[in-house]
Chain A
Amino acid sequence: MARTERRRRPGLWKSVFFLLVGLGSAVVALRFTRGLAAVTNLSDRFPWGLWIGFDVMCGVGLAAGGFTITTVVYIFDVKRFKPIVRPTILTAFLGYLLVVAALLLDLGRPWNLWRPLVFWNPRSVMFEVAWCVTLYTTVLFLEFSSLIFERLGWRRALVVQQALTLPLVIAGALLSTLHQSSLGSLYLIVPGKLHALWYTPLLPVLFFLSAIAVGLAMVIVESRLSSRAFGARLEMPLLSEVGRVLVAALGVYGVARVYDLVHRHALGLASGASLEALLFRLEFLGGVLLPLALLAVPAVRANIRWLYASALLVVMGFVTNRLNVAITGFEAAQGQRYVPAWSELAVTLMLVAIGFAAFGLAVRHLAVYPKEETHVAHPGLRAVA
C-alpha cells in the first residue's frame, strides 16, 4: 500500500511537529532550571494542573482500548476483533510512555520516581497507581515486543512471547481495572474540596466505566486517522461493531452516572448557569447522551464519518470529565481559578505530537497493520457481521 504518498501535505505536518517539539523542549529546559513556577500556573491552591488533569488522567484513559480489546480477543475469544489488536496495543503503549513522560515533567523530583517501588505506603492510592502503571507499561511493552521480534526475525523470542500471551492479557486486564479506577479513587480523600457534581464514593467505578467507553471510542478515532494518514485498510463492519459495543459501555456509564447523581440528590446542581453546571452539561449531554443517541442508530454506525464524529464526542466528553474532576471541581472550594499557562499547553501539545509521530514511525517500520492478515480476515468478517 502506498502509505507515505497518501499522507496529506507531509511538509506542513513535519513543520508543525518540529515547531511543537522545539517550543516544548525550550519549556522543558526552563522547567528544570528555573522550577515549575517559571512555566506553569500551578499554585499552592492548585498543585495539579493541565499536566496531571490532561496528560496523565486523560492519557491513561484514552489508552484503555489496550486492555479491553486484548481481553475481548484473547479471553472472550472474539476473533473478528483481531485486526485491531496491534494498532490498539501500539496506541496504549505509546500512550503510557507519554503519561510517564508527562509525570517526569510534573513531579518536583522526578529522579525519585523509582522510590515507590522501594519505599512502600500501601495506604496511598498514588502508591498503587505507581505500581500498576509501572507494571502495566511493562506488560504493554511485552505485548508490543512481538512486532519488534517479527521485524528482527527473532523466531524463538516470538515463540516465547506468544506463550506468554494469556498471562500478559490477564495481568493487563487486572492492572488496568485497578489503576483506571484508582485514578478516580485519588479524589476520594477530598470530600470537602471537590464539587458535588463530581465527588462521589462511586468515583473509582465511574472512572473505570468511562475508561472502557473512551478506550473503544479511541479505537474508532485511531482507525479513521490511520486510514487517512497511512492508507491502512478501514475495517468498517468491525468498527461498526465496536460502535455497537460502545453504545453498551457508554449506556452503562451513563446510567451509573445519573443514578449516582440522583441518589446523592446532586442532580439539581446540574441546572443553572454556574461554570460547574455548564461544564457538567458539556461533559454529560454533549459527551455521553448525544453520542449515545447517535450511536444507537444503525445508519450512524454504518457511516464512517458519523461513527467518527460520535466517537470524537465521546472522547471530548471524557476529556471534559477528567478536567472537571481535576480542575473545575476544585475551583469553588479553593477560591481560585486555574487556567494553564501557554507553556503548559506547549508541553502537552509537544507530547501529543510525539505520540502521533511515533505512531507513524511504528506503522512505517513494523507490521502494525499486517497486510495478509487483514486481507484474509476481511471476507470472513463480512460474513460474520
Chain B
Amino acid sequence: MTIPREELEKMVRSWLDMVEEITRNEGLPVIPAEKTGDPLWVDVRELRLKYLIPISRVKRFFDGLKEGKVYATKCPVKNVFFFPPQADCPYCMDENLEWVEIDGEGVLLTYTVVNVKPASYLHYPDYVVAIARMNEGFNVLCWMNVDDVSKLKIGTKVRLVVKRREPEGFLTYYLEPV
C-alpha cells in the first residue's frame, strides 16, 4: 500500500482537528484507546525532527553521484576499502585516503522486500533492499530495481547505477541485474 504524502498529511490533520474539537468541548485532550477504551492524554506538544548532517569530508562521494559515479575510499597504507566511504583510516591513523571509483559490477548476496514501511517511507510502493559483493571485495547495500522479484536469485550478477529517487528527487545508487 502506498500513501501519498499529501494524503498522509491530510489524515494527520483531520485527526488533530478531531482532538482539538474534543479539547474544546470537554476541556481536556483525552481520547479513548482503540481496543480498551482506557483514557489517553494526547500530547499537546509536537516535535518535528529533520537533521542537518555534515558531509564536507566525504563531499567527493556526493559530487560523484552528480557525475553518475559511485566512489569508495581506500587506505593506500593498509589497502583497505571503505564503503560507505569514510574520511579516516582507523587502522593506520591516516586521513589521506584515496577516492576510488567503484567498478560497479558485483554479485547478489541477499535481499528482502520491505512490505511494512516506516512512517517516512509510506509514500513509496514496497521496495527491494539488496546487498551485493562488488568486484573490489566490499559490499554495497541499496535498493534494487527488478522487474519480477519472485525470480530473483542469490548469486545473480548485478551492477550499480546512479539515479534520482523520485518523488524525493535526490541522487542515489541502485543495483540492477546485469
Interaction A to B:
no
Interface residues of B (CB under 8 A from A): none
Interface residues of A (CB under 8 A from B): none
